[in-house]
Structures are given as C-alpha cells and as structure tokens.
A and B are shown apart, each in its own frame.
Chain A
Amino acid sequence: MSFVEAIRLALSQLRAQLLKSFFTLIGVTISVMFLIAIVSIVDGMSAYVEDAFAGKFLGVNTFNVRRFPDFQTGDVTAAEWRAWQRRPKIRIEDGLAIRQSLPEGARWSLHDVRWLAPTTRYSSGGPQVLANASTAGYFRIKNLTVTGGRLFTEQEDQIGAPVVVIGADVAKDYFPGVDPIGKELKIDGYPFRVIGIMEKQGSVFGLNLDSQLWAPFNSPMSRFTHARENLYGVVIQAPSSAATDEVKEAVREVMRRRHHLRPGEPDDFVLESSASALSAWDKIKSYLVLAGVVLPTIGLVVGAIVIMNIMLVAVAERTREIGIRKSLGARRRDILAQFLVESATLSTIGAAIGVALGYGLSHLISALSPLPTHVAPWSIGLAVAIGAGVGIVAGLYPASRASRLDPIIALRAD
C-alpha cells in the first residue's frame, strides 16, 4: 500500500469520527499553539531588542565609557550603589586621553544628556526633551541623519556655536505649523538656533527617541548638561566588529592608568556596549525559551498519551477490519503503516491547527499588548515536525499491536 493511499485512508477515518478526532488532537493543538505564540514573542522581542535597542540606541560596534552601568541586570545592593557613587567622575580630559589611544578609523565623542524643558514663541510648551550635548562625531557613530536642515560641524562645536538639531517630535510640539529651521529655541533663557530636524527614530522601551535635541558639546548647552564636570559618557566606535575588543582593551588601559589602578584592582568604570546590554536580554530570553519549550512539551506528552489511547481503542474497535485486510493480503508492515500514518496524520492536523491558532494568538498579542511578536518560519516547520513525530511515537505501540494480530482471531472479532 502506497504512502498516499495510507494518508487517504487516514483522512477518511478522521472524517468518519470527526468529534473524537477533535478531542484527540486538542492536546497537540494547544501545545503547538503556545509553542508558536511564545516563540513568536521571544523572536519578536529579540528582533526588537537587537535592531531597535542595540542598533539604534547604542550603535553598532560601539561602547560607552561610563562611571557605572546604565543598563542593569538583577538587583543592585545599597552597598554597590554607594561604591559606585564613590567612583571617580568621567572627565573631559579622560575623553581626550582616550581619543589619543584610538586606532585609525575609530570614532569618538564626548556625550552628556539631561532632561530639559525648552521654550519657543510658537508653542505654549510641550513635554520635557532629552537634551544631548556631544561632539560632532556623535552623529556618525549613531548613524543619525537629518530630514531637514543639517547637522552641526566640528568647527561649530569648537567655537561653541549655539545651534541645535531637534527631533521630529520636538519640531511637532514646539514648532506647530512652522518650519523650525532658522528659528529660535530657548533653553532656560539661552537662545539656540535650530539648524536641522532629525529623521524619525521611533521609541525604544518607552523612551521616545524623537523627543530629543542635540547641541554642540562646547555650546551653552554644557551649562545644563555638564554642570558638575561629570560626563555621562565617552562614546567610542571601533572601526570594525573584529576590532571592538582590541579598542576596548586599549581604552580600558587608558582609564586604569588615569585612575591609578594597580594590577588586580577592579575597574572603577564600565565599558558598556550593546553586547553587555544584550546579555541582560539574553538571560531573559533563555528563560522565555525554556518556558516556551517546557510548557508545550508537557502538553505534547499529554497529547501523545491521549493519541496512544485513542489509537489503542481504534485498534480494538477495528480488529475485524484488520482481520479482513490481512485476509486480503495486507502484510504486517501494511497494517503498521496504516495505523502509524493515521496517528501521524491526526497529530499533524492537530499541529497544523495549532500553528494557525498560534499565528492568530501571536497577532492578537501584538495587537493588544506592547509585546512585539514575529512568527518565525522555523517554528512552524518545527511545530509540524513535532506534530508528526508525536503521532508516530504515540502510534507505534498501537500500530505494532494491530500488525501482530492473528488474522483468524481478528476475523472472529465482533
């Protein structure tokens, strides 16, 4: 009997007992549904974290020299916190010394931030904006471009020109219905001239990246952002991802020397990269993946037991049929294949329904919650393969019992 033949037979068997088949598959269906949904959440968040967070927010091949980490995993004890506060500040001179140590092709920027409330004569106000004061290299490192106007230059930074590039939402909130280029924006009474509007960046973890503005590091902005001689960070971009570690070690050496650390003493600063921030995510992800695998596995085991039982019942109910088939020339392997294909078909259909429901669930989740989801094609393949596999494993024992029936006894069955 051919394979196609066996599947056709299995399908007619399912049609004949639709309700029973439905209950048989429900375990596999639900397991696969959750498998698909959870994997889609993990995958969606991964894509989000890696593209939006690591790429956009931190930058590619980039790391920051900071006093203490900005992105935390786990709890920080009060003692740790106090120790961090005692660390030396990151100073402009540190940044300049770091620049001396960088290889050709690397980029560098001093960077300070502060939440501020600007004012313009075109609007009565808006939400606070994240004000950045940075050297001109910052834009290249973060791969930022303007949609209108221009970025500030190194010369403007050096002379401390009071110019500012504003985010798309700052333009919307503070210059409603007005072209902001060339207009004035005041920060605590200090006037800045708007020279550019940044391309839209969206938001990362609730932080609106379009509600920012950027002024030269040496401009009056530093009065606000750099008040206590304590840099938010020095941003460094290695010339390539291969060179990142080498550049990092060079920068670490500079900082240790400047802080007079002896060998064996721990760093009193951090080199925070997208990789180190992502390690937090990787940890969360590993828990999610574990949950996404373990929970459906329990469901699949239950599903397999249900299928095995239903198949045993089917074999018992169809003993006569097995006898008839054997009397007409069905070999053991024909009967074995018949029941294996039947249980595999059953279970694969269950898995396919689960894929469809999981797909729906994943879309529902991304529509109703802030969780980004993405159904990975491999998870669909995996789910269907698991479905067929569970069916074959669950069907093995019943099918082998069916195949070993004595035709004489089977023919006598009711």
Chain B
Amino acid sequence: MSTPHGAAHAADAVIRIRDLRREYVMGSETIQALRGVTLEVQRNEYVAIMGPSGSGKSTMMNTLGCLDTPTSGEYWLNGQEVSRLSDDALARVRNKEIGFVFQTFNLLPRASALHNVELPLVYAGVTAKERRERAAQALERVGLGQRMHHKPNELSGGQRQRVAIARALVNRPSILLADEPTGNLDSTTSEEIMRVFGELHRQGQTVIMVTHEPDIAAFAERVVVLRDGRVESDRRTAREAAA
C-alpha cells in the first residue's frame, strides 16, 4: 500500500502501521476496537485522526503512544518495531520518541511548571542542571518563560496546555501526540493552542492529533477518519492544498 501522497520517501516514514488489530475481552464478549488499520505518517506531517465515539480513535491514540500494544499487526516507530515490546521498553520509547498532550493537561498539581516540564528528562536520566536549562528553553518556546515557577492552579487553561506542550517537546520526541488538546479550552484559547501546534509543525515537528472537532482537525494538513476500527478516509485538507 502506498501513502496518499507518494512524494515522500518510505524511509522518511516516522510511523508505519500494517494491519493493526486490537481486541479486548470483556466477559464473554470480544470487542474489536481496531480491525486492521494500515497507516503511514511521514516526518514533519501534521495529521488529525478523527472519528465518532467507538470508532477506535482512543485505542489508536493509546497504541500510537505506546501505552497499549496491539493484538496483531506491525507498528514501526522511527524505524523500530514497537508492537511487541516489554512494559519497560515501551516506557523507554514513550520517554524518547513520544510527546503527549492530553485533553486534561495531566500536569502534576503540586509541581511548578518548570518541574513538570523537567519530568521526562528525569526519567531520561539527564542531570539536574541540564534538565533545568532544557525545561526553561521549552517553556520559553511556548511563550511561558515568565511563568516557570507557577503551579498549574496559578495558570490559565491555555497556559496549562502550553506547559503540557513544553513538557511533550522537552525530550525532542519523534512525534507530538495530542489527544483532544482543545477539549477543555474555550474557542479563543483553542485557536491560541492551534497556533502553537502550527508553529511547531513549521519548525519541523511531526504532529498527530486525535480530535472529534472538524474545525480543530482543519488545522492539520491531513485528516484520517476512523470508523468501526478501520480507516474510512485519509485525505489532504484544504489548508494544505492552499499552502
């Protein structure tokens, strides 16, 4: 199977998924959340994954984020097959390759913005001094250089999400994986966050965003729609066509 825009080289694919299936056993029933998804994402793409609830969107997100492993199929992330890794190896991959941005921000409430951003570096074994420097840089990159020592409850929703973005970026991940990143934000703040994503994408970051909002998906250059655990459509957006 070829990518929808064949211009990119296969070697440049940061994500390559082949016939991915995920089944859950719920009592006597077996639920098929993913029924054979095949997908490639090139480096520096900006992809939105959409779909109604029950489409397998969340499972897709968890699998892409190496929080979950598929029942069958292949998942190559940045040249490494990750679908059969142990828990600890997956933790390593999450630490090095993936930057998560969650709907509910998922910041540690008692830690300062700076410390929150430092966390991935703590688990990467980076020294305290370097950690502080890199975390501060990441916060400056999302425009929060002045708010480093604030705790999450001293920050607005948009600011919290930007802390989360800084945290996602601090370990220079292969993909930025956002799960409904604007779900808890008003429309002005949502646009502000989308501008940050757009800027990161322009700087070369691969961004994958799961959302059910079409106007948020419209910020991406490519939209993949899931339905019943399969890819229903995979197309370039008007935005990319215009660019």
Contacts and interface: CB of A to CB of B under 8 A. Distances in A.
Interface of A: 1-2, 5, 12, 16, 320-321, 323-334, 407-408, 411
Nearest to B164: A324
B222 interface: no
A324 B65 CA distance: 13
Given A327-B100, A327-B106, A332 B88 contact: yes
The A interface is mostly helix, strand or loop, or mixed, namely: helix
Contact of B94 (A329, A333, A334): A329
Contacts of B167: 328
A304 B173 CA distance: 42
Contacts of A407: 67
Interface in B41-62: 62
B102 A411 contact: yes
A329 B124 contact: yes
Contacts of B96: 329
Nearest to A16: B110
Contacts of A323: 106
A324 B106 contact: yes
B211 interface: no
B119 interface: yes
Nearest to A12: B110
Nearest to A403: B87
B69 to A, nearest CB: 11
Nearest to B171: A329
B94 A408 contact: no
Nearest to B95: A329
Contact of A320 (B106, B119, B171): B106
Given A327-B106, A329-B94, A408-B62, A334 B67 contact: no
Nearest to A320: B106
Interface in B106-139: 106-108, 110, 119-120, 122-125
A321 B95 CA distance: 16
A5 B124 CA distance: 13
B68 interface: yes
Contacts of B68: 408
Nearest to B120: A328
Contact of A411 (B95, B106, B120, B123): B106
A258 to B, nearest CB: 83
Contacts, number: 60
Classify chain B's interface size: 20 to 34
Contacts of B95: 328-329
Nearest to B106: A324
A331 B92 contact: yes
Contacts of B62: 408
B238 interface: no
B91 interface: yes
A329 B124 CA distance: 8
B110 A324 contact: no
Nearest to A329: B95
| 6 residue pairs, one from A and one from B, having the closest CB atoms | A329-B95, A329-B123, A331-B91, A331-B88, A328-B120, A324-B106
Given A327-B100, A329-B171, A333-B88, 8 more contacts: A324-B106, A324-B108, A325-B119, A329-B96, A329-B120, A329-B123, A408-B62, A411-B106
B94 A328 contact: yes
B179 to A, nearest CB: 10
A234 to B, nearest CB: 75
Nearest to A1: B122
B186 to A, nearest CB: 23
**Of B62, B102, B106, B122, which is in contact with the most chain A CB atoms at under 10 Å from its CB?**
B122
- Which of B96, B123, B125 gathers most chain A CB within 10 Å? B123
A334 B107 CA distance: 18
B94 A327 contact: yes
Contacts of A16: 110
A326 B124 CA distance: 12
Specify which of A16, A320, A327, A407 lies most central, judged by the most chain B CB atoms within 10 Å of its CB.
Answer: A327
Given A325-B119, A408-B62, A331 B87 contact: yes
A280 B94 CA distance: 68
Interface in B138-164: none
Nearest to B89: A331
Contact of A334 (B106, B108, B123, B171): B123
Nearest to A334: B123
A138 B102 CA distance: 90
A325 B96 CA distance: 14
Contacts of A411: 67, 102, 106
Contacts of A12: 110
A15 to B, nearest CB: 9
A342 to B, nearest CB: 14
Nearest to A325: B119
Interface in B62-91: 62, 65, 67-68, 87-88, 91
A324 B119 CA distance: 10
A328 B164 CA distance: 11
